[in-house]
Structure 1
């Protein structure tokens, strides 16, 4: 919960402040979606996937009112075939049941799918446990030496994913 994140930040970084964790969390929940910014190449990637006939879905952990506002702000609700938000589904990644629910909604088999995410544990390992191939979008993240995961693909940008999908579809 964001209020817990802000409470910890205030405790560790700002010993005295006029802001409360609750006020910061409220501000985040009220205004975050207005600042949602798509990764470079998002529109081109979704146009390519549409042309290639690739079904798409989103699985996101978080509170419904926050995640849904971000999806709507980026028009992702119109670009994907389905989306699942953990709070409204009553499941969270890496629980394999949320991946299976998305597969069922898309009417596809796990082995036919590539799940792309930025969390080694929730996204990559969760998807793999559900039988999907997984791509890790590193998004500039640094991993600890103890992190052991083996994504089938590592991408550094949406352009990387776009080229991968084109290559896979052309060779099929």
Structure 2
């Protein structure tokens, strides 16, 4: 039977695209005194372009923004610090997040998270979503010294949960870092569908988190009957 379900964070539980839009809109309004010479839509659009859906850390993003838009009364370091301290207040969850966790907890499976990123920043976002208490283990790449798709971070999480790969499921939005990496050590991978990788195909996919409990129950029954 399935004994553990592990999750990615960004793009899987946290709707990062929407969170970034909310954050950067609020940042522009909050810091308007120093950035008002830039049209709001231009500032927002360029930030999102440079951010590349979170795969570029914001030190580089803000360095580029200050150069392109001639932001002279605030340093890129100050803009970065604003991002670090304020992003958590703009976190947007995917629909049915809490409902899904409540259902999974009632079925007595262990829950874990493996996320790439900076430790305290990611933990602040997890707390902002109100989901920290659901997890038996949370591994963040900065604190672990390794990141997905390295199999070691998956193995470490499973060891902490005391479950085998065959008894475990990993849910994530990234085909390589999440789904294929989990499958590579013998876990079942479930893809939280993301249109950015629309050509990716795998055995199990979800569009909405509310679909997960039933899929996991069916997988558990299949494993038990084998």
| TM class by smaller structure | 0.7 to 0.9
Matched, 1:42 2:85: no
Equivalents in 2 of 1:85, 1:43: separation in Å? 21
1:15-94 matched pairs, under 5 angstroms = 15-18=69-72, 20-94=75-149
1:141-152 matched pairs, under 5 angstroms = 141-143=195-197, 150-152=201-203
Name the TM-score, length of structure 1 as normaliser.
0.85
The alpha carbon displacement at 1:71 in A equals 1.2
Q: Between 22-31 and 48-57, report the one with greater CA deviation.
A: 22-31
Partner of 1:102: 157
Partner of 2:26: none
Q: Where does the alignment leave 5 or more consecutive residues of structure 1 unmatched?
A: none
Equivalents in 2 of 1:75, 1:82: separation in Å? 15
- CA RMSD, aligned part only? 2.1
Equivalents in 1 of 2:137, 2:64: separation in Å? 34
Equivalents in 2 of 1:46, 1:135: separation in Å? 16
Task: Provide the aligned length of Structure 1 versus Structure 2.
Answer: 166
The alpha carbon displacement at 1:16 in A equals 3.1
The alpha carbon displacement at 1:150 in A equals 4.5
Name the TM-score, length of structure 2 as normaliser.
0.66
Greater share of helix residues, 1 or 2?
Answer: 2
Equivalents in 2 of 1:106, 1:70: separation in Å? 23
The alpha carbon displacement at 1:159 in A equals 1.2
The alpha carbon displacement at 1:27 in A equals 1.2
